Structure 1
Amino acid sequence: MARRNDHSKDELQRLALATVKDFLNLYPSQDLSLRKVAKLIGYSPATIINCFGSYGDLLLAANAETLDELHLLSNVAVREEVYPQVALRKLARIQLGFARKYPHRWQLAFEHRIPVHKALPEWHQMRIDRLFALFTEQLSRIEGRKKLQDIHIASRVIWAGVHGICLLAAGGGVISEKHTSGEQMIDSLLDNYLKSWVSNGQLSTTTS
């Protein structure tokens, strides 16, 4: 078993986060615990608490890494996309692909609950807002004449719809993708919602 001085605090934090990530790549978060993380890395639970503050804070830090990864994938996917409608579709499909590939990490990142008496840390809220901003930016490109509040609401409506589809893909719902794929549901959501939201004309949201 490793001793306390085998790793610096930063090294131990990275080790714990990598262990949580590796575990969630295979198993649901319900099967994880502070004691299990401690056992896997060879340190005591108290040492991990000293590094993160609490088990909940360890999970928040792990979720932050998931959100960073999602933002990087999303940003790369739309960075040079000319058509905002296509960019929205790409953003939605990045979420869907991640939820399918890493269902336990995705679920923990978006379904994790913190105690009611504790505020979400600013560094974590910033990561959530940054993901929302990618959707907001594309909607602004589609219909910049709308009020900013309307654009923000629309981005959250689309996000909520995509989130529900991803939840099904991640195995968190009673309805499966057996008869209708997640891609088809995303296409239907975006096609129909954007056509009713945009003031003029119909949009081509087809991508190869």
Structure 2
Amino acid sequence: MGSNRETKRAELRERLIEAAEIELRDKGLAGLKARDVTARAGCALGALYNAVEDLDMLVLEVNARTLAKMGTALRASLPGPDAQPVESLQALAEAYIDFALENRRIWLALFEHRLPEERTVPEEHRQSHSVLIDGIAAPLARLRPDLSPEALALRARTVFAAVHGVVHLSLQGQFVGVPLQDLKSEVRALVEIMARRAG
């Protein structure tokens, strides 16, 4: 009996996550409403709070899925082991841009969503963000074999932040952002400069 109840709860949770992802893709984070999610999932509003803690935690679940998909795309973009480090960094940056362009609203939700100040992000969700920088460390290590593991991890974060900042401003249509038609070429130039300085 208990097992059957847990199975139904898990199925409901999965439906809610899928519904929330569709809502986020359609309306973005600002347009996400619990009633719309539960209506799409085919359940009562109160059922959401039986399956997950609240709407914030549901967004975290969607974000974890987004990060997993992005990680797959980034890994698939990497050239072979004989590729030059800068070639690997360029491939990762281009795959990151493609993912952001193709999944704009759920990509933005990764960086726009904030839990209330009194709550902390669960550790497993923090760890899921590692896919954003995992692939950067190996080519950087070839460019800078002198760096300690700690310094290398910090440099990988800096490289990611630089590329992400350009992409984020561009996709938000900010005045200082790079026009979309020039985004890939400008990011390529940025990666080239960073790689040259790193070496």
Deviation at 1:24, TM superposition (A): 2.5
Q: CA offsets, 1:31-76, max 9 Å, x none? A: 1111211122221222111111111000000000000000011112
User: Once structures 1 and 2 are overlaid, which stretch shifts more, 142-151 or 188-197?
Assistant: 142-151
Give the partner amino acid of 2:40: L
Aligned partners of 2:90 and 2:188 also within 8 Å: yes
Residue 19 of structure 2 corresponds to 19
Q: How many Å separate the matches in 2 of 1:165 and 1:146?
A: 26
Aligned partners of 1:107 and 1:170 also within 8 Å: no
Aligned partners of 1:96 and 1:165 also within 8 Å: no
Count of residue correspondences = 193
Q: How many Å separate the matches in 2 of 1:184 and 1:162?
A: 12
Residue 138 of structure 1 corresponds to 139
Percent identical pairs in the alignment equals 21
Deviation at 1:79, TM superposition (A): 6.3
Deviation at 1:180, TM superposition (A): 6.0
Aligned partners of 2:170 and 2:180 also within 8 Å: no
Give the partner amino acid of 2:78: V
User: Once structures 1 and 2 are overlaid, which stretch shifts more, 134-143 or 64-73?
Assistant: 134-143
* Structure-2-length-normalised TM-score: 0.87
Residue 110 of structure 2 corresponds to 109
Q: How many Å separate the matches in 2 of 1:15 and 1:174?
A: 39
SS in structure 1 of the partner of residue 26 of structure 2? coil
- 5 Å matches for 1:42-81? 42-78=42-78, 80-81=80-81
SS in structure 2 of the partner of residue 174 of structure 1? coil
CA shift in 2, pair 1:69/1:152, >3 Å: same
Residue 205 of structure 1 corresponds to none
Q: How many Å separate the matches in 2 of 1:114 and 1:10?
A: 23
Q: How many Å separate the matches in 2 of 1:42 and 1:156?
A: 41
Residue 125 of structure 2 corresponds to 124
CA shift in 2, pair 1:179/1:72, >3 Å: closer
SS in structure 2 of the partner of residue 110 of structure 1? helix
Deviation at 1:179, TM superposition (A): 7.6
Give the partner amino acid of 1:121: P
SS in structure 2 of the partner of residue 181 of structure 1? helix
Q: How many Å separate the matches in 1 of 2:89 and 2:186?
A: 14
CA shift in 2, pair 1:181/1:125, >3 Å: same
Aligned partners of 1:140 and 1:151 also within 8 Å: yes
Deviation at 1:147, TM superposition (A): 2.3
SS in structure 2 of the partner of residue 120 of structure 1? coil
Q: CA offsets, 1:54-113, max 9 Å, x none? A: 110000000000000000111122163532211111111111111111110000012211
Residue 86 of structure 2 corresponds to 85
Aligned partners of 1:168 and 1:175 also within 8 Å: yes
- Comparing both structures, which one devotes a greater share of its residues to helix? 2
Q: How many Å separate the matches in 1 of 2:93 and 2:23?
A: 26
